[in-house]
């Protein structure tokens, strides 16, 4: 998880037999640069889950990697690909580090049902004996998980479905096992996704949270009224109904809420929303982000 561990791991994978234990980051970096230049290597360093690295080390944890790229130009070369869930995390870096990032940001679309089917099929080969999951069950996992575009969630559902089938002494994972897995493992957005929301979206989500502590569903009109009140509390200008509806759609697509049309007698058909996260934990996180100026 630390830059030392990553640099040390790269030294080992490139064939260094030197023990780097007890050395500083700069010393490990120098050893890696010497190795790259001596062998005239072309190195592609891929930093996955960069959000996590920034959380634990801030700008410092990336400084060594950018120096690696700069100092190896000419004799050998090291290129860096950074993968993160929320591009907004880059704003947490200091200006010096941001200045070294010249490459464009490529935004990848969420996984489709077809793509998730391919991913799950590969995992099934390694995790299950042949014939232990029906095609209907596999397709159900892919189709439901595609609503969130999250491969990790789809894999977790596959794992939970297998556990349920095993406890039921079943030879094959069925769609019913998958449905039960979805029931036990509802999709909960990553906490990091909150930092990708705008100030207005955070206020709207807090309004829904405030109204949901004792209700399963709240009407959009109730949400708008609470949202306007929160805007006053936080010194923000409330948005119009059309924009609020766009925010509702985004919060739904990210998995924070669900929405449906409900019939309420003479009031006619109204849109109601339901929160998918426990209100007590969500409220704390939202207040922290809003009060911190996020």
Q: What is the pLDDT of residues 226-253, one digit of tens each?
A: 999 999 999 999 999 999 999 998 888 7
Average pLDDT for the chain:
82
Place of tokens 């920034």: 54
111-145: b or e for each residue (b if 16 or more CB lie within 10 Å)? bebebbbebbeeebeeeeeeebbeeebbbbbbebb
Q: Give the separation between CA 191 and CA 254, rounded to whole angstroms.
A: 11
Per-residue pLDDT tens over the stretch 246-293: 999 888 877 788 888 876 655 567 889 988 777 877 888 898 889 875
The Cβ of residue 88 has, within 10 Å, a number of other Cβ atoms equal to 15
| Contacts of 280 by beta carbon, 8 Å cutoff, 6+ apart | 213
d(C-alpha 245, C-alpha 48), whole Å: 34
Model confidence, pTM: 0.55
pLDDT tens sequence across 121-145: 999 999 999 999 999 999 999 999 9
Domains identified in the chain and CATH numbers: 3-99 (3.40.50.300), 113-184 (1.10.8.60), 191-291 (1.10.10.10)
Q: What band does 1 get if pLDDT is binned at 50, 70 and 90?
A: very low
**pLDDT tens track for 67-111:** 666 666 655 577 778 888 767 667 767 776 767 666 677 888 889
Q: How far apart are CA 50 and CA 87, in angstroms?
A: 10
């Amino acid at each position: 998880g630390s830059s030392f561990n990553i640099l040390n791991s790269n030294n080992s994978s490139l064939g260094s037999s030197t023990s780097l234990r007890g050395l500083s980051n700069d010393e490990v970096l120098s050893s890696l640069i010497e190795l790259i230049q001596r062998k005239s290597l072309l190195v592609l360093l891929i930093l996955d889950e960069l959000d996590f690295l920034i959380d634990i080390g801030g700008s410092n944890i990336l400084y060594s990697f950018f120096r690696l790229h700069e100092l190896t130009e000419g004799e050998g070369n090291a290129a860096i690909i950074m993968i993160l869930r929320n591009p907004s995390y880059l704003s947490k870096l200091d200006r010096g580090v941001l200045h070294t990032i010249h490459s464009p940001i490529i935004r990848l679309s969420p996984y489709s049902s077809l793509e998730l089917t391919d991913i799950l099929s590969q995992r099934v080969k390694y995790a299950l004996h042949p014939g232990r999951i029906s095609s209907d069950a596999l397709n159900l996992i892919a189709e439901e998980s595609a609503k969130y575009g999250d491969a990790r969630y789809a894999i977790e559902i596959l794992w939970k479905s297998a556990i349920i089938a095993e406890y039921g002494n079943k030879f094959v994972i069925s769609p019913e096992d998958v449905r039960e897995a979805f029931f036990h493992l509802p999709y909960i957005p990553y906490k990091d996704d909150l930092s990708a929301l705008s100030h207005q979206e955070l206020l709207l989500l807090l309004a829904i949270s405030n109204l949901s502590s004792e209700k399963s569903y709240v009407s959009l009109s109730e949400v708008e009224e609470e949202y306007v009140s929160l805007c006053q509390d936080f010194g923000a200008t409330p948005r119009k109904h059309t924009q609020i509806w766009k925010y509702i759609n985004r919060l739904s697509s990210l998995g924070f809420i669900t929405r449906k049309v409900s019939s309420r007698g003479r009031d006619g058909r109204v849109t109601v929303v339901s929160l998918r996260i426990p209100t007590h934990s969500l409220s704390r996180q939202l207040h922290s982000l809003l009060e911190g100026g996020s």
